[in-house]
Structure 1
């Protein structure tokens, strides 16, 4: 028998599975769309009924069961583009450059697919941050492209440094032809948030080296660092003016799965393209974008156009929106991790994860090798076997040679986080003692 009664799984960014409650407004609107009879009931707030009515009015026959337009429901895309323009302080957003998809990863994979040249003598290269979430690495390699890693600076709060981009580009010479630079802001698994200055430097670098910028901005609504603020790559690009604003090619990704909504099961996301050749945009528009369900498109509309002050649903929505559950989770995780000898965590400014470094004793590293495991995998396996807490080892996200990390999700209920941290603290103390 196992020494624990239940599994505490905090390894994935799946908030609802970790005890986070779905947003009332979102679920009420979706429920009314699925079962329109609910709209005749006054149990639902007026703005919920009005939104459901508006959304159903954009479906053939007023039903979510009818086929949507292949590129997405046009009125929803129009509203999304207005919302993107609002986010960016009025920078225009052309709805013809916004493409709905079944999640940001789907969009990213398809954009990379368009960029990869199978017939060139050298493989196409994509610069990616280290650490980087594993699904992107898998997508790049499965499409026949080469991963060109650039290391984020852990000592400087996981900062993205242009000198390191330069080094990575040099290292690729002769091995592949780098054509794109992938950035994650806010970070995953490392929870940094890029400053405006940092984004400007990256844009200048991409411009000089003629790289397409792939900006993964799915955690844009999850920023909690006191001096941190999310600014989109598109907004900074527009502020920089010509020649940058009209030449640097950019694809920006967002999703209903990540961040504040956490509706992972609905599979909805979008990509906005900036400065791409019209022929390329046209080609992308003909890709199989009709795979996004109607409910996922509705969820995108609700994410981009939430209740506003004065709406009946606004007080509750705003209360949840500003609840400091995440801030408290971050604070608690940071304090517990940094209080344990042999664990060290940089400040978490945004995103959904904590990515502490583990300073493993030589005996633990030796034991892991004997068992044919990476040292941080060995640590995570022992944690699972002894406490039932499931986290992921840093080696899955790539890391600097000789360093070890663990990753766990903080977008969880406080009970779940409390339990995971309590078990981690007890286990870690014993583990370090056993292998010292």
Structure 2
């Protein structure tokens, strides 16, 4: 008997869609940062800094009691946990069929927790939500992939997505066999969304034979940090209703608003305020505990699906069931995030104080980074209104652009690599977010550690000054040679 000794899976035999997709926040810059981190550990004298500052990604009592229910019956529990936390943990455990956090749940999540989320949405928006419309998920990412599986039938199905984009969307659309239909945000207008631009892109896609099925809107924006006005949201709702498009509303940064004249409004609230109900518009809203609440690794999120027929919801349920169920820790955290302590609860004052401290800290860090980038030579940076990211534009000397071309990389990648090698600051090149052609950007995350901000800013300023001087000098030398 002969055996086939060739590998069963190779780079040539995997799904070609996998090879096409890119996810810049965890791309080559981050891999290079990891190599430098290893070099620091093995040979610290060879590197001009002693730590990597990761600016590429945006990175509880009740949960502890749910995982260790025996603690609630011990006398010392009253000294360690608030009465409010103990009551919540008991209520959550009693709602779980197995009465512990180690078993499977409904594939949509525990019904009691879905109802808590629905009640939280109702309180936030002033319009009713029901548990049957809620799917708890392993972060918003899994909800996005789930909806792409439902919406995309072939490459002839298109999804409208903003540029610059969060690359998960283009990757998910490609991976599921669809076609991304990009629409451009306007940098000179604070990364505003112009509805005539979306309409132009929709008409071009339809003329090319595509069936455009949905429109992705990220509010607050990633990587651009803008917050949509209610008027802009109303335009989007009217547009999608008229054109028969599903609104995929990515609202994971709803707690991260820094501009004093801006406020978050969910798309569901805007649609209901316009008197549109489930018969008028299909809307999928996404939220998670990753960004607003800093619990990225817990993988907790939800999607609210409204305006779909019962038999469609059955199909969404079927696809969700393939993963058996979302993790229980994430489910619990989402329910807590949507049902925070209220005035009169024992833990309200400490919760409210901590929340305000976190919000103030985010706001301070955002303004510090915004000021730092805006003060650099040849850098313009729009005001950060929300989310966790700055997307400054670099106007580099022509000599630097030619140097990048000589190395076979784009100018943003060239700059980001030089920044990382010189300072240990890891940012994401703007090309990973499909920045507008002819522009150069980087995306920088608001650091989670306030103590590192000043050190990072000092390194950034010193590097940028040296970089600009180096290539401005190179340009002068070339000009002299030409003369």
TM category, shorter? over 0.9
Aligned: 1:2 with 2:68: no
CA distance in 2, matches of 1:431, 1:170: 44
Aligned: 1:88 with 2:125: yes
2:139 to 103, 106, 121: 103
**After superposition, what is the alpha-carbon deviation per residue over 1:110-130, rounded to whole angstroms, capped at 9, x for unaligned?**
111111123xxx611111101
CA distance in 2, matches of 1:110, 1:297: 17
2:157 to 124, 134, 137: 124
Does the 8 A contact of 1:353 with 1:411 survive in 2?
Answer: no
CA distance in 1, matches of 2:414, 2:351: 42
Does the 8 A contact of 1:238 with 1:245 survive in 2?
Answer: no
Q: Which residue does the alignment assign to 1:19?
A: none
Change (3 A) 1:245 1:293: closer
**After superposition, what is the alpha-carbon deviation per residue over 1:354-402, rounded to whole angstroms, capped at 9, x for unaligned?**
1111111111111111111111011000000001111101100011111
Q: Which residue does the alignment assign to 2:335?
A: 301
Q: Which residue does the alignment assign to 1:369?
A: 405
Q: Which residue does the alignment assign to 2:212?
A: 178
CA distance in 1, matches of 2:167, 2:342: 37
Q: Which residue does the alignment assign to 1:17?
A: none
Q: Which residue does the alignment assign to 1:224?
A: 258
Structure 2 gaps of 5+ residues are 1-45, 473-483
**After superposition, what is the alpha-carbon deviation per residue over 1:280-323, rounded to whole angstroms, capped at 9, x for unaligned?**
11210222343311111111111111111222222221112112
1:266 to 285, 289, 298: 298
Q: Which residue does the alignment assign to 1:22?
A: none
Does the 8 A contact of 1:393 with 1:405 survive in 2?
Answer: yes
CA distance in 1, matches of 2:386, 2:412: 24
CA distance in 1, matches of 2:250, 2:425: 29
After TM superposition, the score normalised by the length of structure 1 is 0.93
Q: CA deviation at 1:70?
A: 3.0
Q: Which residue does the alignment assign to 2:313?
A: 281
CA distance in 2, matches of 1:60, 1:427: 57
- Pairing 1:149-168 to 2, within 5 Å after superposition: 149-168=182-201
CA distance in 2, matches of 1:96, 1:372: 52
Does the 8 A contact of 2:96 with 2:105 survive in 1?
Answer: yes
Q: CA deviation at 1:245?
A: 6.0
Change (3 A) 1:208 1:96: same
After TM superposition, the score normalised by the length of structure 2 is 0.84
Aligned: 1:31 with 2:67: no
Does the 8 A contact of 1:103 with 1:257 survive in 2?
Answer: yes
Q: Relative contact order, CA 8 A, sep 6+: which one is greater?
A: 1
CA distance in 2, matches of 1:111, 1:222: 25
- Pairing 1:408-419 to 2, within 5 Å after superposition: 408-419=444-455
Which has more radius of gyration? 2
Does the 8 A contact of 2:104 with 2:325 survive in 1?
Answer: no
Does the 8 A contact of 2:146 with 2:320 survive in 1?
Answer: no
Q: Which residue does the alignment assign to 1:20?
A: none
- Pairing 1:34-45 to 2, within 5 Å after superposition: 34-39=67-72, 40=74, 41-42=77-78, 43-45=80-82
CA distance in 1, matches of 2:283, 2:97: 34
Q: Which residue does the alignment assign to 2:6?
A: none
1:211 to 226, 233, 245: 245
Does the 8 A contact of 1:219 with 1:351 survive in 2?
Answer: yes
Does 330-339 or 30-39 show the bigger shift?
30-39
Q: Size of the alignment, in residue pairs? A: 418
Does 265-274 or 183-192 show the bigger shift?
265-274
The runs of at least 4 consecutive aligned structure 1 residues that moved more than 4 Å come to: none
CA distance in 1, matches of 2:289, 2:428: 23
